[in-house]
Structure 1
Amino acid sequence: MKTIITTLMFSCLAHGAFAESKAAESLPGHYYLQGAHEVGSELLLSKDGKFQWMLSYGSVDKYAQGTWQVDKGSVLLLSTPPNENPEFRLFTEDEMRIRKPATAGIWVAIVGVPSVGPTPGVEVKFESKSGKTLTAVNAANGEAIVNMPASEEWARAGLRGVKSKKDWQWFVIPAERKKDRVAAFANKDESQARPSAFEKLQFKIEDKGLRISDPKAMPQGLYSKQ
């Protein structure tokens, strides 16, 4: 009897695993939210296990990307955490939109993605020609600001993620930026300018598509594959 029960248990487990495997094969594709008034949303499930999700309503746009998996008859989206060690580069002069110099005695470093937005959470080390250094973490608007004596000349800047333990990425400040006391640095990870809308999100698998499992979560409606 014990052998029969054990065999049945393994059979059920195997059947469940097979069903989830078959579901995972049929799920990849591009889904669009249906029936939501003045709300647009898309979900792309790729065959390699990655996803992209977006939501737009009014002037609000939200994004998320990461990996997806089938879990007990549902699709579970797991967002990729922010990169703690992003790479940077200087803005080109064509990318610089701020032309007004900073006040004497104030140095400003702006970190973000050109034409997209700021990427906060970056530590900036300001170094003068004489070797004096000050450090600041940039704010939500992308700006890191320090007060330096007007007699000091900005020589270079080091950048790294605020949680990073890696060495600084150093940049020599161009003459024009040095004169204006304002320099901008591009974060090469564009996703950091668009914070993830969620850490994880679960969808119920229905006959005609996918639906967010949490009835309180936005948006409500069916995501239909096109």
Structure 2
Amino acid sequence: MKKIITALLITCLNSAVFAEVKNTKDLPGHYYLQGVREVGSELLLGKDGQFQWMMSYGAVDQYAQGTWLVDKGNVLLVSTPAAENPSFRLFTEDEMRIRKPAKAGTWVAIVGIPQVGPTPGVAVKFESKTGKTLTAISDANGDAIVDMPDSEEWMRAGLRGAKSKSDWQWFAIPAERKKDRIAAFANSDESQARPATFEKLQLKIEEKGLRISDQEAMPRGLYTKQ
């Protein structure tokens, strides 16, 4: 009798493993959230183990990207953290939409990604022609602002992540930007302009799609593959 029970258990376990492997092969694809009013959400599971996720409701847009894996009948999304110290560059004049000079006595550095959005949490060191330096951290609007006497001329700016200990990335300020006391810098890491909504998110694999396990954190709808 014990041998029969053991054999049945092994058969069941093997069937479960096979089903999970089969589901894993079928999982990659483009999913859309169903059954939630006034909320739009998409999930893209790549065959390379990467994912992209977005959710939009009202005026709020949320994003995440990273890697995904299958764990005990669930899909686990693990977001890629923002780079601590991405590379930067000056906005081109075509990208620079702000034409109004900064207020007299202030210097403004705007940090963000063109056509995407601002980047908060970037340290900007302002340096004048005389060697005077002041540092500010970009806010939620991507603005880093310092007060400087009108007698000072802005020569260069150094950027790095607010928590980074890496070397500053220095940029000479173009003549037009010096005159207006405002310059803009683009970073290479889009995730900083679109911070991940979650670090990890678990979705239960169901027959008709994927359902978020933590119903208090996210909508109760079902992600179905299109």
TM superposition score normalised by structure 1: 0.91
Q: 1:211 and 1:16 mapped to 2: Cα distance?
A: 19
Aligned to 2:185: 185
Q: 1:61 and 1:173 mapped to 2: Cα distance?
A: 33
Q: 1:91 and 1:194 mapped to 2: Cα distance?
A: 19
Pairing 1:148–2:148 present: yes
Q: 1:150 and 1:187 mapped to 2: Cα distance?
A: 29
Q: 1:174 and 1:160 mapped to 2: Cα distance?
A: 20
Aligned to 2:42: 42
Q: 1:133 and 1:164 mapped to 2: Cα distance?
A: 18
Q: What's the offset of the Cα at 1:163? A: 1.8
Aligned to 1:160: 160
**Structure-2 change in CA distance of 1:206 and 1:132 (3 Å):** same
Question: How large is the Cα RMSD of the aligned pairs?
Answer: 2.2
Aligned to 1:77: 77
Please list the CA deviations of residues 147-167 of structure 1 after superposition, one character each: whole Å capped at 9, or x if unmatched: 112111000000011122211
Q: What's the offset of the Cα at 1:219? A: 1.8
Q: 2:132 and 2:14 mapped to 1: Cα distance?
A: 66
- Paired amino acid for 2:132: K
Kindly indicate whether the alpha-carbon contact (under 8 Å) linking 2:130 and 2:152 is maintained by their aligned counterparts in 1. Answer: yes
Structure 1 residue runs of 5 or longer lacking an equivalent are 1-5
Q: 1:133 and 1:184 mapped to 2: Cα distance?
A: 18
Residue 84 of structure 2 aligns to a residue in which SS?
Answer: coil
**Structure-2 change in CA distance of 1:105 and 1:13 (3 Å):** farther
TM superposition score normalised by structure 2: 0.91
Please list the CA deviations of residues 60-98 of structure 1 after superposition, one character each: whole Å capped at 9, or x if unmatched: 111111111111110011111111011111011111121
The aligned length equals 222
Aligned to 2:57: 57
Percent of aligned pairs sharing the same letter: 76
Aligned to 1:102: 102
Aligned to 1:3: none
Q: 2:73 and 2:98 mapped to 1: Cα distance?
A: 51
Aligned to 2:221: 221
Q: 1:128 and 1:43 mapped to 2: Cα distance?
A: 47
- Paired amino acid for 2:90: L
